[in-house]
Amino acid sequence: MDAKQLPNDLLEKIRHGENFQIEYKEAFDALPKNVYDTVSSFSNREGGDLFLGVHDCTVIIGIKPDAVAHIINSFVTTVNNQDKINPALYLTATEYIYESDGSYSAVMKNGKTMHEEAGIHHIIHIHIPVAPTVVRNSNRIYDRNNDADIDITNFADQVYQCYARKQSFYFVNKVFPYFTVSDLRADLIERARKMAVNKKRLQEGKRHEWADMDDEELLRTSTLIVTDENGKHGITLAAILLFGTDEMIGSACAHHKTDCIVRVYNQDRYDDRDVILTNLLDSYDRMIAFGQKHLNDSFVLDGLQSVSARDAILREIVSNSLAHRDYSNPYVAQFLIEKDRITVKNGNRAHGIGALSIKTFEPFPKNPSISKVFREMGLADELGSGMRNSYKFTKLYSGAEPEFIEGDIFKIIIPLTTGAMTKFGPGTDIETNTENVSEGLNTSMEELNTSIEKINTSIEKDLTDTEKTVLSIIQSDDTLTITEIAKQSNLSRSGAQYIMDNLKGKGMIKRSGSKKNGKWIIVNTAEER
**DSSP result, 226-269:** EE-TTS-EEEEHHHHHHH--HHHHHHH-TT--EEEEEESS-SSS
Distance CA 376, CA 160 (A): 32
Q: Which of residues 252, 279, 306 is at a domain's end?
A: 252
327 and 245 within one domain: no
Is the Cβ–Cβ distance between 429 and 422 less than 8 Å? yes
Q: What residue numbers bound the domain in which 357 lies?
A: 258-366+377-421
Residue 482 pLDDT class (50, 70, 90 cuts): confident
pLDDT attached to residue 529 = 46
Kindly state whether residue 87 falls inside one of the protein's structural domains: yes
Q: Which letter does DSSP use for residue 212 in this model? A: G
396 and 289 within one domain: yes
Radius of gyration, alpha carbons of the chain: 29
CA–CA distance from 185 to each of 175, 191, 215, 243 (Å)? 18, 10, 10, 6
Residue 261 pLDDT class (50, 70, 90 cuts): very high
Is the Cβ–Cβ distance between 351 and 372 less than 8 Å? no
pLDDT attached to residue 424 = 38
pLDDT attached to residue 438 = 38
pTM: 0.60
Is the Cβ–Cβ distance between 129 and 92 less than 8 Å? no
346 and 490 within one domain: no
Kindly state whether residue 433 falls inside one of the protein's structural domains: no
pLDDT attached to residue 462 = 60
Beta-ladder partners of 54: 60
Is the Cβ–Cβ distance between 94 and 76 less than 8 Å? no
**Of 22-26, 268-272, 520-524, which gets the smallest average pLDDT?**
520-524
Task: For 283, list phi and psi in degrees, rounded to 5.
Answer: -60, -40
Is the Cβ–Cβ distance between 345 and 410 less than 8 Å? yes
| Crossing angle between the packed helical segments 493-505 and 280-294, to the nearest 10 degrees | 20
Kindly state whether residue 431 falls inside one of the protein's structural domains: no
356, 342, 364: which is closest to 417 by C-alpha? 342
Number of domains in the chain: 4
340 and 297 within one domain: yes
**If DSSP states are collapsed to H, E and C, what string results for 19-36?**
ECCEEEECCCCCCCCCHH
286 and 180 within one domain: no
Kindly state whether residue 441 falls inside one of the protein's structural domains: no
Q: What percent of the chain lies above the pLDDT cut of 70? A: 86
Mean pLDDT, rounded, for 351-360: 72
Cα dihedral: 227, 228, 233, 235 (round 10): -90
Mean pLDDT, rounded, for 258-268: 88
Is the Cβ–Cβ distance between 430 and 506 less than 8 Å? no
| Crossing angle between the packed helical segments 280-294 and 309-323, to the nearest 10 degrees | 150
Q: Which of residues 252, 285, 300 is at a domain's end?
A: 252
Q: Which of residues 252, 284, 313 is at a domain's end?
A: 252
Cα dihedral: 98, 55, 29, 51 (round 10): -60
pLDDT attached to residue 167 = 66
With 70 as the cut, is the pLDDT of residue 423 above it? no
Q: Give the distance from CA 410 to its chain's centroid.
A: 4
Mean pLDDT, rounded, for 207-231: 86
- CA–CA–CA angle 487, 485, 211 (5° rounding): 10
| DSSP H or E stretch at residue 225 | strand 225-227
With 80 as the cut, is the pLDDT of residue 428 above it? no
pLDDT attached to residue 491 = 79
Domain of 496: which CATH number?
1.10.10.10
Mean pLDDT, rounded, for 2-18: 88
Contacts of 287 (CB under 8 A, 6+ apart): 258, 260, 276, 314, 318, 321, 322, 335
Kindly state whether residue 437 falls inside one of the protein's structural domains: no
361 and 483 within one domain: no
CA–CA distance from 224 to each of 77, 172, 187, 230, 520 (Å)? 48, 9, 17, 17, 41
32 and 126 within one domain: yes
pLDDT attached to residue 361 = 64
Is the Cβ–Cβ distance between 24 and 56 less than 8 Å? yes
With 80 as the cut, is the pLDDT of residue 419 above it? no
158 and 20 within one domain: yes
Residue 466 pLDDT class (50, 70, 90 cuts): confident
141, 162, 122, 132: which is closest to 36 by C-alpha? 141
Domain of 288: which CATH number?
3.30.565.60
Which segment, 167-176, 365-374, 384-393, is predicted with the most confidence on average? 365-374
Residue 450 pLDDT class (50, 70, 90 cuts): low
pLDDT attached to residue 215 = 92
Mean pLDDT, rounded, for 67-78: 93
CA–CA distance from 432 to each of 99, 309, 335, 424 (Å)? 67, 26, 26, 10
48 and 28 within one domain: yes
Kindly state whether residue 448 falls inside one of the protein's structural domains: no
Distance CA 485, CA 491 (A): 8
Kindly state whether residue 435 falls inside one of the protein's structural domains: no
403 and 263 within one domain: yes
With 70 as the cut, is the pLDDT of residue 10 above it? yes
Task: For 160, list phi and psi in degrees, rounded to 5.
Answer: -60, -45
Distance CA 498, CA 495 (A): 5
> Which tens digit of pLDDT belongs to each residue from 101-154?
999 999 988 889 999 999 999 999 999 988 878 999 999 999 998 889 999 999
| Mean pLDDT across the chain | 83
Mean pLDDT, rounded, for 445-450: 48
Q: How many residues does the chain have?
A: 529
96 and 244 within one domain: no
Kindly state whether residue 84 falls inside one of the protein's structural domains: yes
**Of 77-86, 309-318, 504-513, which gets the smallest average pLDDT?**
504-513
407, 384, 417: which is closest to 316 by C-alpha? 384
**Of 30-44, 184-198, 358-372, 485-499, which gets the smallest average pLDDT?**
358-372
Residue type, 54: V
Mean pLDDT, rounded, for 462-488: 81
Half-sphere exposure of 389 (CA within 13 A, CB side): 21
Mean pLDDT, rounded, for 368-386: 83
**Of 9-23, 43-57, 348-362, 418-432, which gets the smallest average pLDDT?**
418-432
> Which tens digit of pLDDT belongs to each residue from 312-327?
889 999 998 998 888 8
With 90 as the cut, is the pLDDT of residue 51 above it? yes
Beta-ladder partners of 23: 50
Q: What percent of the chain lies above the pLDDT cut of 90? A: 37
With 80 as the cut, is the pLDDT of residue 459 above it? no
Mean pLDDT, rounded, for 473-492: 83
With 90 as the cut, is the pLDDT of residue 468 above it? no
289 and 403 within one domain: yes
Residue 190 pLDDT class (50, 70, 90 cuts): very high
**Of 12-21, 333-342, 437-446, which gets the smallest average pLDDT?**
437-446
Task: For 287, list phi and psi in degrees, rounded to 5.
Answer: -70, -40
Mean pLDDT, rounded, for 282-294: 92
With 50 as the cut, is the pLDDT of residue 441 above it? no
With 70 as the cut, is the pLDDT of residue 431 above it? no
With 80 as the cut, is the pLDDT of residue 281 above it? yes
With 50 as the cut, is the pLDDT of residue 458 above it? no
